[in-house]
């Protein structure tokens, strides 16, 4: 556009064209940004707005983004219902346990991948990447039998154990990537000083790897917090249900409690959103490192 006819135009005129073109471009970029923001953000805004409405106003015609009868009633009713509070407690207990266990196992494995040469390394690597492709539904059928046989059906342990199959591959890939960015001399110097290899990992590598560990932790927490299929199938009673299943249970029990469902959705989204806002840099860095560059 700017270079379509450069030879005939005089200099001042050309500068003007360039400026108009830049303004036009800027307008175009902003219009696209705002359209994009509407596409991405309006549904979420609607979720938040609906959570402050009375259930009778959910389908008010015409719809209102901000209701005059603004109220926290839906939130109060979620917080005062022990069954619903329990959904959140379950989700937190499970997600945090999965995160801690995944970190421990993944840090040990990543240390082996990053700092040692051993037989079968390349094969194990391929297996770990391949595992990410296995459909959850394929695992669910044997898990069902396995979990029942191990008497872990409808327990925290059953969910924690099965979730780790999803969280570990990422965590190992991301953690290995992070360790690889740290110079080997760091831990090898410690080894020369007589520290065991575990000591070098625990006292040297782990403390300086906090950014990497945080990004793995955030990502792991998010996978565990969001899981649906296993939670649906491997638990049975309300006292073991997690938030994603709990929200679904609100649907169609009596009538649709839309405001409560939206309040629970907002509350259910907050942990991941907060983690994202605080650790945005780690999060995106870790995600692209893990997913793009295995």
Partner 1 sequence: MSAPTIPAPTAPSPARPGRPAGAAPGRRRTSLGRRLAPYGYLAPVAVLMLVLMILPVAVVIRYSFFDNVIISPTSVLVGLRNYVQILTDPLFRTATRNTAVFTGVSVLAHLVLGLGFAMLLNSPLLGRRTKTVFRTIFVMPWLLTVAIIAILWRLLLDPNGVVNFGLQSVGLIDGPVAWFSELNLALPAVTVMNIWAGYPFFMVSLLAGLQGISADLYEAAAVDGASWWRRFFHVTLPSLRPIIISMALLDVIWTSQQFPLIWMTTGGGPLERTEMLSTYTYKLAFSEYQFAQASASAVIMLLVALVLAVFYVRHQRARD
Rounded to whole angstroms, what are the CA distances from 23 to 30, 159, 233?
10, 55, 56
Task: Kindly tell me which of 13 and 44 has the beta carbon lying closer to partner 1.
Answer: 44
**Tokens 């679904």 map to which residue?**
248
Q: d(Cα 168, Cα 166) in Å, to the nearest integer?
A: 6
- Three-state DSSP at 40 gives helix
198-257 residues near partner 1, rule: CB under 8 A: 198, 222, 225-226, 228-229, 232-233, 243-245, 247-248, 251
Which one of residues 1, 8, 11, 66 is an interface residue with partner 1 (CB under 8 A)? 1
Gyration radius of the chain over CA positions: 26
Task: Kindly tell me which of 70 and 198 has the beta carbon lying closer to partner 1.
Answer: 198
- Segment contacting partner 1 (CB under 8 A): 66-74, 75-83, 141-149, 152-160? 141-149
- Segment contacting partner 1 (CB under 8 A): 74-82, 121-129, 178-186, 204-212? 121-129
Q: Applying CB under 8 A, does 96 fall inside the site for partner 1?
A: no
- Three-state DSSP at 33 gives helix
Q: d(Cα 2, Cα 17) in Å, to the nearest integer?
A: 7
Q: d(Cα 158, Cα 150) in Å, to the nearest integer?
A: 9
- Segment contacting partner 1 (CB under 8 A): 59-67, 80-88, 178-186, 208-216? 59-67
User: What b/e string do you get for 49-65 counting C-beta neighbours within 10 Å, with b at 16 or more?
Assistant: bbbbbebebbeeeeeee
**Tokens 């046989």 map to which residue?**
149
Task: Kindly tell me which of 99 and 233 has the beta carbon lying closer to partner 1.
Answer: 233
Q: Applying CB under 8 A, does 151 fall inside the site for partner 1?
A: no
Which one of residues 131, 180, 182, 238 is an interface residue with partner 1 (CB under 8 A)? 131
- Segment contacting partner 1 (CB under 8 A): 67-75, 79-87, 163-171, 176-184? 163-171
Task: Kindly tell me which of 254 and 293 has the beta carbon lying closer to partner 1.
Answer: 293
190: left (phi over 0), alpha (psi -120 to 50) or beta: alpha
Task: Kindly tell me which of 77 and 226 has the beta carbon lying closer to partner 1.
Answer: 226
- Segment contacting partner 1 (CB under 8 A): 8-16, 32-40, 68-76, 77-85? 32-40
């Amino acid at each position: 556009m700017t270079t379509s006819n450069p030879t005939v135009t005089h200099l001042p005129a050309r500068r003007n064209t360039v400026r108009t073109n830049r303004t036009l471009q800027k307008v175009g970029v902003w219009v696209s940004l705002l359209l994009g923001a509407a596409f991405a953000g309006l549904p979420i805004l609607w979720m938040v707005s609906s959570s402050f409405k009375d259930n009778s106003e959910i389908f008010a015609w015409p719809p209102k983004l901000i209701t005059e009868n603004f109220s926290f009633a839906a939130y109060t009713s979620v917080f005062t219902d022990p069954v619903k509070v329990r959904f959140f407690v379950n989700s937190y207990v499970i997600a945090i346990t999965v995160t801690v266990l995944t970190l421990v196992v993944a840090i040990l494995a990543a240390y082996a991948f990053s700092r040692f040469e051993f037989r079968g390394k390349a094969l194990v690597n391929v297996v770990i990447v391949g595992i990410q492709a296995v459909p959850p539904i394929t695992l669910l059928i044997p898990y069902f039998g396995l979990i029942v046989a191990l008497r872990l059906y409808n327990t925290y342990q059953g969910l924690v154990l099965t979730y780790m199959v999803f969280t570990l591959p990422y965590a190992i890939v991301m953690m290995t990537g992070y360790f690889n960015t740290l110079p080997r001399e760091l831990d090898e110097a410690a080894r020369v000083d007589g520290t065991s290899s575990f000591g070098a990992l625990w006292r040297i590598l782990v403390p300086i790897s906090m950014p990497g560990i945080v990004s793995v932790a955030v990502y792991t927490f998010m996978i565990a917090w969001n899981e649906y299929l296993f939670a649906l199938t491997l638990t049975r009673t309300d006292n073991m249900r997690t938030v994603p299943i709990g929200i679904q249970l609100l649907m169609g029990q009596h009538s649709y409690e839309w405001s409560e469902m939206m309040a629970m959705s907002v509350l259910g989204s907050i942990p991941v959103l907060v983690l994202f806002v605080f650790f945005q840099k780690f999060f995106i860095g870790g995600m692209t490192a893990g997913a793009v560059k295995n």
